[in-house]
Amino acid sequence: MGRIGIYPGSFDPLTEGHRDIVLRSLRFFDTVVVAILKNPDKRAMFSVRERAALIAETFADEPRIQVDHFGGLLVDYVRQRKADAVIRGLRAVQDFEYEFQMTMMNRRLAPDVDTVFMMTDEEYFYIASRTVKEVARLGGTIDGLVPDNIKAAMFVKLGREGELA
């Protein structure tokens, strides 16, 4: 299977920023697993099952990308998958504090599990799932912020399917 990188997150939904991180990571890992956290968040737009199906569709042409979900501690999941590292994206400085805390907590729990950080393309560094959802809910355009299949699924959820070409 070669080197496995686990890219964990909420992915509600996957954005172009996430996609960029996954594609960049393929240069360093043989397999990249997009691992969706199963947490019962009632405010989520998509169920974990829906998110997994959408992400699999986005990356349908790349067999080295897998989609999975996990519950409990990330480090347990990483060990169970016998993965080589956790992958996280870094956007602006504001991400650093949260990522630093999480990485150090994970290291304390599992000193053998390392996290590598990737920077998104400058075109995407301001994109967050939360703001994309807000713009979509309020009737704005989200072209270029999420993959096309995900935009379509969001518009269907929001009753905006009439706007799809």
Active site residue 18: yes
Among the listed residues 18, 88, 133, 151, the single catalytic one is 18
Taking the complex as a whole, how short is the minimal distance between the CB of residue 10 and ligand PNS, in angstroms? 4
Among the listed residues 42, 43, 82, 108, the single catalytic one is 42
* DSSP designation for 67: E
Is 106 or 120 the residue whose CB approaches ligand PNS more closely? 106
Q: Which residue is nearest to ligand PNS (CB)?
A: 9
Active site residue 69: no
Task: Compute the distance between CA of residue 149 and CA of residue 152 in angstroms, rounded to an integer.
Answer: 5
Task: Compute the distance between CA of residue 133 and CA of residue 98 in angstroms, rounded to an integer.
Answer: 21
Task: Compute the distance between CA of residue 120 and CA of residue 89 in angstroms, rounded to an integer.
Answer: 7
- Interface with ligand PNS (CB under 6 A): 8-10, 37, 73-74, 102, 105-106
Other CB atoms closer than 10 Å to residue 51's CB: what's the count? 25
Catalytic residues: 18, 42, 91, 129
